[in-house]
A and B are shown apart, each in its own frame.
Chain A
């Protein structure tokens, strides 16, 4: 009986911990967003993070997108050819990439790159007293460190996803025309015929949310890291893992919101 109660208590403690953590992250995000809207603004910090986010993440996102588009074309062909439905491949590729794979894969790649970098940088600042030093120099750390990163995340990932969408479709186009024998003109015509503005806007909206989640997880776990190098390492790992899981969870929620009928 005692063991059973202990187990229930442990589950209860775990559940309370999750709720407490979720609340703390929500408050942290709300505080960060409120500083995005109130001066002073740190344009130099924002530009640095934005460049790191958007420009220096381009190669990894571009490669991921090209090969994903190519794989979808190949896999669709092997499946659809059984039902003589090869003509649907262009549509499958463009909708998969624009609606899902573009934002999700770019988000996951950026979570690994930028989420880790943010958590490590801010975490190191925490354990070396640099964040405390900001407080003694008339600078609010939330405004200086967190707000520019959240804004950069929200604005940069949609730009990356535009590139990912184009390259993903291009990857599918390459495989379809060079390997599977599709006519280039008719492949492109099918692509543009099935793609709607809503698909693009929904994908970009997802990207904005995912960019926010990546930046939020990086900043939150870095800001709250403790215990020296090990603490920073652990914060970095948690930031990447939690951002990746949240991207997949929010992807489902946003897909329900945008596309479920």
Chain B
């Protein structure tokens, strides 16, 4: 399922990955056009996180190709891979904040790692980004363990956007949050993506979040993309699998593997 024209920011073709005997990704084709937000939906274990980790180089796919701006990024030497990753910001499912560092050090981590900036300037930049995600700069001196789940997600978002990446990934951004905080995080994500002009890929099984974040949406089922279209069409896509998933019906083409 690919876009018809233009050079995609991210182009994935025939991506396959198996763990042991389980085929998690089975020939995924996906184009993400510049400046758009694509939401990938799918059940638990459908391969959404593996897809993101393959793009990030954290997991090596068994087959297929991944291009960013028309350049293949698979099999790159470490330095070149790090250069690609420097253009990507990632918000992890549980925020994945470094608990040995303070909040501001977490936010400024990527800036300091890339060099060319002192700790004083990095602190200033971290404070500014914390403000952008609706947190008071005084939070910067706290430890991540002192924050609520929603605040941790905001700090994770601040860390993801601190280096102004042109690609942003969001892994289940609203999981574990109450609906109001989920909406707040979604709003921040949309604001950040628009402000930076970034291309975004989000994976989620929260339908409200998917329609709020995404311009386009795709559904992953048993390692394949079974539907792709405008995110606004998610709730009335006409695809039986998507309809069953988005409406949370027990009956339909998707049969859960339950032991009775």
Contacts and interface: CB of A to CB of B under 8 A. Distances in A.
A136 interface: yes
A138 interface: yes
A129 B96 contact: yes
Interface residues on B, range: 20 to 34
Given A138-B86, A138-B114, A132 B109 contact: no
Contact of B88 (A130, A136, A139): A136
Interface in B36-79: 53, 56-58, 78
A129 B53 CA distance: 11
Interface string B13-42: 000000000000000000000000000000
A112 to B, nearest CB: 21
A198 interface: no
Contact of A140 (B78, B89, B159): B78
A64 to B, nearest CB: 28
B94 A136 contact: no
Contacts of B197: none
Contacts of B237: none
A129 B82 contact: no
- The winner among B56, B57, B85, B113 for most chain A CB atoms within 10 A is B113
Given A137-B113, A138-B113, A138-B114, A128 B94 contact: yes
A11 to B, nearest CB: 24
Contacts of A140: 78, 82
Given A128-B94, A130-B98, A140-B78, A135 B56 contact: yes
Contacts of B159: 137
A133 interface: yes
Nearest to A130: B96
Contact of A139 (B53, B57, B93, B109): B109
Nearest to A137: B110
B130 interface: no
Contacts of A121: 100
A128 B98 CA distance: 10
A132 B113 contact: no
A135 B57 contact: yes
A14 B115 CA distance: 46
Contacts of B89: 136
A132 B53 contact: yes
B58 A135 contact: yes
Nearest to B53: A132
A125 B96 CA distance: 8
A259 to B, nearest CB: 41
A186 B113 CA distance: 59
A87 B202 CA distance: 77
Contacts of B86: 138
Contacts of A136: 56, 58, 85, 88-90
B120 to A, nearest CB: 15
Nearest to A129: B96
A25 to B, nearest CB: 21
Given A129-B94, A135-B85, 18 more contacts: A40-B115, A121-B100, A128-B96, A129-B92, A132-B56, A132-B58, A132-B96, A133-B90, A133-B96, A136-B89, A137-B85, A137-B113, A137-B159, A138-B82, A138-B86, A138-B113, A139-B109, A139-B110
5 contacts: A128-B94, A130-B99, A137-B85, A137-B113, A138-B82
Interface of B: 53, 56-58, 78, 82, 85-86, 88-90, 92-94, 96-100, 109-110, 113-115, 159
Nearest 7 pairs of A and B residues by beta carbon: A129-B96, A137-B110, A133-B96, A136-B90, A138-B113, A139-B113, A129-B92
